[in-house]
Copies of this chain bind each other. A is one copy, B any other.
Amino acid sequence: MKSWQFATRAAAMSPSIIREILKVTEQPDIISFAGGLPSPDSFPIEAFSAAYEKVMREHPRSALQYAASEGYAPLREWVAQSLPWDVSPDQVLITTGSQQGLDLVGKVLIDEGSRVVVQTPSYLGALQAFSAYEPEIFSVPNDDQGVQLESLEREQLRYQARFIYLLSNFQNPTGMTLSLHRRQEIAKTCHALGLPIVEDNPYGELWFDAPPPPPVASFYPEQSIYLGSFSKVLAPGMRLGFAVVPPEVYPKMLQAKQAADLHSPSLNQRLAYEVLTQPGFLEAHLERIRALYKGQCQAMLAALQRHMPDGVSWNTPKGGMFLWLRLPAGLDSAAMLPLAVQQGVAYVPGAAFYDTQPDMRTMRLSFVTATPDEIDRGIALLAQTIEQQLAA
């Protein structure tokens, strides 16, 4: 008798390293900078309840019935209008979280052995979603403006990738943002190379002082798929995101969506639409989240300044949820993690976010889950751990 025979792709699947780390670090006595969870204080609970009441009073049966795979038409219109370039509602596909957008992109564009370009480091969930379709991934390094263009050009001429995957705003994991000039240059370079763009923008609304420049997709819409999320603006437990897809690709994305889950939950789409369009809600809500996260980010920057020994460096994000820290030469953030957890603080080692050649000195710190007080204590504990390592 034979046993189960797995697809080749299943052999390459592995437990999410981050989810495994979270299991260890989510003990109540540990201050965790590891998670990527938005602050639950930011969830608009009352707005959802008002929306639920309205939807179930006006359209209870439609909210509970099967619905169009494209998504709820008013929500698609809302998305199209909210974007800073000319997007038709017909190009908007509502997805079950933006993670599903990544999966559908993989399904429609990646054959076994197809090449895909990613920034390095990059979002782990995207690498996971793509890897199910067995691409060859190659990485282009970032400089302080974003993707290095010469390196992109050289690699693309050699490898002919199917697309480049970009996180333009407050990138997970580094918190880095592409400059306006670099966005325009990337669009120009991709146009010249005939290289389509898949741009992922879950954090764009979470800016601190000024909105980020327009998406790269806005400079090259014909050859860009743009992914957005309601997880950070409304609530991740709703599992709602969207993809803006050029007409040439839309039918295939839609058919892949049908096969994947028929459609995203009707109730959730209607709730999101009602919450987003409550008069005055969105602007006030976003201001509140921005102020909350900015305060937490400043608390972390201040604590780092206060506690960290020489040789530790970090960046200053302009928004989002993450900050990127680099240890002094000779230290290894993955090797150090158990000691840090022992001291009572947790983070995600940077190595988790590299496809190849990880920089072992890096780590991702989330500033949105802990309170400013906890942030100060946690950073102090982390600084202690680093000092012990340096002394050892």
Contacts and interface: CB of A to CB of B under 8 A. Distances in A.
Interface string A310-338: 00000000000000000000000000000
A7 B194 contact: no
A191 B65 contact: no
A95 B263 CA distance: 13
Contacts of A69: 19
A194 B380 CA distance: 58
A154 interface: no
Nearest to A69: B19
A262 B248 contact: no
Interface string A249-262: 10110111011111
Contacts of A99: 259-262
Interface string A166-206: 00000000000000000000000001101010000000000
Nearest to A264: B239
* Most chain B CB inside 10 Å of its own CB: which residue of A4, A40, A62, A259: A259
A153 to B, nearest CB: 14
A237 B103 contact: no
A261 B56 contact: no
A261 B37 contact: no
B4 A223 contact: yes
Interface string A30-46: 00000011101001010
B261 A238 contact: no
A236 B66 contact: yes
Given A235-B65, A237-B64, A19 B263 contact: no
A238 B260 contact: no
A111 B7 contact: yes
Nearest to A263: B239
A19 B258 contact: yes
B237 A267 contact: yes
Nearest to A40: B61
A112 interface: yes
B64 A40 contact: yes
A109 interface: yes
Nearest to A268: B265
A107 interface: yes
A14 interface: yes
B259 A132 contact: yes
A60 interface: yes
Contacts of A108: 6-7, 10
Nearest to A132: B259
Given A107-B7, A194-B1, A262-B125, A65 B236 contact: yes
A163 B46 CA distance: 48
A4 B100 contact: no
Nearest to A60: B45
Contacts of A252: 6, 10, 13
Contacts of A65: 37-38, 40, 43, 235-237
A67 interface: yes
A215 interface: no
Contact of A1 (B4, B191, B246): B191
A71 to B, nearest CB: 12
A109 B258 contact: no
Interface in A51-73: 52, 56, 60-67, 69
Interface of A: 1-10, 13-16, 19, 36-38, 40, 43, 45, 48-49, 52, 56, 60-67, 69, 96-97, 99-100, 103, 107-112, 114, 125, 128-129, 131-133, 162, 191-192, 194, 196, 223, 231, 235-239, 246, 248-249, 251-252, 254-256, 258-268
12 contacts: A2-B194, A7-B111, A10-B109, A13-B255, A40-B65, A43-B65, A65-B236, A96-B96, A112-B112, A125-B262, A131-B259, A238-B267
